[in-house]
Structure 1
Amino acid sequence: MNRPIYCAIGDIHGELERLKDLHRQVLAFAADELRGRPLRFVHLGDLVDRGPDSCGVIDYLMAFERVRGRKVITLRGNHEQMMIDAHDGPGAAAGAVRHWSINGGEATLASYEGKPEARMASHLAWLKSLPTVHADRGAGLVFVHAGIDPDAYPDCGAQVNMWTRRREFMDPRCWTAPALRGQRVIHGHTPTEDSLPETAGDGQRLNLDTGAVYGGRLTAAVLQPGAPDLFFHS
């Protein structure tokens, strides 16, 4: 069976040029080394906030998805959810607006300045459509923004997927859910301290949030069946 190869990319946070650079690196590698084997991109969420061009990131990923179709999966992270909550109808609570604003929303709003109002509306509709988890059981891979409930997976719920930093999730020795046997969880959300990917439990958990918007790097991992993970950085 010709299983797909996955390329997972950590928290982007408006870093459009670095995202484009990562895509160029991975696509060049695929052209040289993969010999036509299927490659799927998974963006792990937190596309927006704090960085210089959140609007541009969404425009770019929507176009990337249109060109590559099902070969692109983009997940909704907690920052997308905060953006949605701050704009969800005319009665959006002031608390949701303030919460988003102090967590990087001001930089996102600045990236929309001078653009048609319809741009924001179309972006919000797309963000609302994004899943919070993607699982390929045959490949033994679970992709999620923040993490999963190690006792209840797959019955975790979107809030857990987008927000959790539960200690028991971080330590795969504590995972008890039968559905996690033989599975790796690939996630972001919690910036690593050294700007390098973090693995735990002999690779059962892989964290790709390498703090791009905090002076770290934007990281992609190419996950090939039966081969070591390959990492690309920008």
Structure 2
Amino acid sequence: MKNIFVVSDIHGHYDQFVQVLSFWDKKDTLVILGDLIDRGPQSLQVIQKVLALKDEFGDQVIVCLGNHEDMFIDYLNFPDIKQDRFFKNGGLDTIRNFQAQLPNDFMTVNPVMQVEMIKEKYAREISMITTSKIFVIIGNVLFTHAGFDSNFETIDNTSAEDFLWIRKHYLTQNRTPYINVFGHTPVHLIHDSSDVWVSEDAKYIGIDGGCYMTGQLNALHISEAGEILNIYKSVIDPPNN
């Protein structure tokens, strides 16, 4: 029986990430459900930590794409028209974090040149992001960043955009064979707490502690059968931003 350790929505909060990783049993699969970046102070360090883990543990470490990585990819592909959207949604914090290892004139050049500098300096980091999975199924558990289109009994009807961006899918009964573990929606919007939320029928599990607002990063230890084995959290004083 395979067990999985799951983290989501780190948003550049490296210290919380390292704290919850201390609970990870290295025999278990590590799944990160996206939004490694933006809004927090150390997005680059989070990405590089995940890269180091993938170098050490290989396919035992699985990264899913989040909607913030999706915006980052859009920015890299279309900097002239996507920069404002990315920057306004926390991407400017990420770029400022990247800037420490970029040329001094980085912030003064046009967006196209900025992106070329980023691509040249951070090729491995970008490759990891762009090759991240849209969703992962392990045993009876469907791992997604945001969720899936719960109007259907199968995930085959869910678009890539919905896996990354959907909201309130958990308000509709999950008729798929899978338990859905998801991030994206801070759980205090679901049950007035930053702790992991489990639906009454246990077919939905929300784990986003809203770390960039609350300082709380949650981690879930779950079996491939969908049994919750443990829940962990790292709580650091909420950020001032």
Q: Same fold (TM over 0.5)?
A: yes
CA deviations 1:102-154 (Å, max 9, x no partner) are 00011001111221543333322221111110012xx2000010001121513
SS in structure 2 at match of 1:26: coil
1:35-184 pair list within 5 angstroms: 38-88=27-77, 92-116=78-102, 117=117, 118-136=120-138, 139-150=139-150, 151=152, 152-165=154-167, 167=168, 169-173=169-173, 175-176=174-175, 180-181=176-177, 183-184=178-179
Judged with a 3 Å threshold, the aligned counterparts in structure 2 of structure 1 residues 201 and 80 are, in CA distance, closer, same or farther, namely same
Residue equivalent to 1:233: 233
1-side partners of 2:200 and 2:161: how far apart?
A: 24
What's the TM-score, normalizing by structure 2?
0.82
Task: Tell whether the 8 Å contact from 1:133 to 1:143 is kept in structure 2 after alignment.
Answer: yes
1-side partners of 2:227 and 2:147: how far apart?
A: 24
2-side partners of 1:200 and 1:74: how far apart?
A: 24
Residue equivalent to 2:3: 5
Name the aligned partner's letter for residue 34 of structure 2. Answer: G
1:13-28 pair list within 5 angstroms: 13-27=11-25
Divergent runs of 4+, >6 A: none
User: What is the CA distance between 1:227 and its match in structure 2?
Assistant: 4.7
User: What is the CA distance between 1:210 and its match in structure 2?
Assistant: 0.6
2-side partners of 1:227 and 1:211: how far apart?
A: 24
Task: Tell whether the 8 Å contact from 1:199 to 1:207 is kept in structure 2 after alignment.
Answer: yes
Give ranges in structure 1 of 5+ residues lacking alignment.
Answer: 31-37
User: What is the CA distance between 1:44 and its match in structure 2?
Assistant: 0.5
Give ranges in structure 2 of 5+ residues lacking alignment.
Answer: 103-116, 235-241
Q: How many residues align?
A: 211
Identity of aligned residues (%): 25
Task: Tell whether the 8 Å contact from 1:171 to 1:200 is kept in structure 2 after alignment.
Answer: no
What's the TM-score, normalizing by structure 1?
0.84
Higher deviation after alignment, 15-24 or 92-101: 92-101
User: What is the CA distance between 1:16 and its match in structure 2?
Assistant: 1.0
